[in-house]
Amino acid sequence: MRICIRCNTKMVENCGIKVKGARYGVVLTDDEDKWFGGRLGEPKVAICPSCGEVSIYLEDVNKLKNQER
């Protein structure tokens, strides 16, 4: 569960994000040389129904913790 950092309301999770006008999604990486495969996966979005705060987050942070470099 995510709580809004601004107003402490429970946020609506698992929302999506998309670049308007394109069918591209957003992909995050921890290494700008390795975009292919989207090393960190696609971000999820949580939106606060009270104040509209939008929070972009990664569901699987283990990929950040267990990096093999």
Out of 12, 26, 51, 56, point to the residue binding Zn ion (CB under 5 A). Answer: 51
Please give the residues from 7 up to 46 whose contact with Zn ion meets the rule CB under 5 A.
Answer: 7, 9
CB of 38 to Zn ion, least distance (A): 29
Output 4 or 46, the one with its CB closest to Zn ion.
4
CA 53 to CA 45: how far, in whole Å? Answer: 10
DSSP state for residue 65 in the 8-state scheme: H
Output 44 or 63, the one with its CB closest to Zn ion.
44
- Map tokens 């069918």 to a residue: 23
SS3 62: helix
From the CB of residue 47, how many other CB atoms can be counted at a distance below 10 Å?
16
Residues binding Zn ion (CB under 5 A): 4, 6-7, 9, 48, 50-51, 53
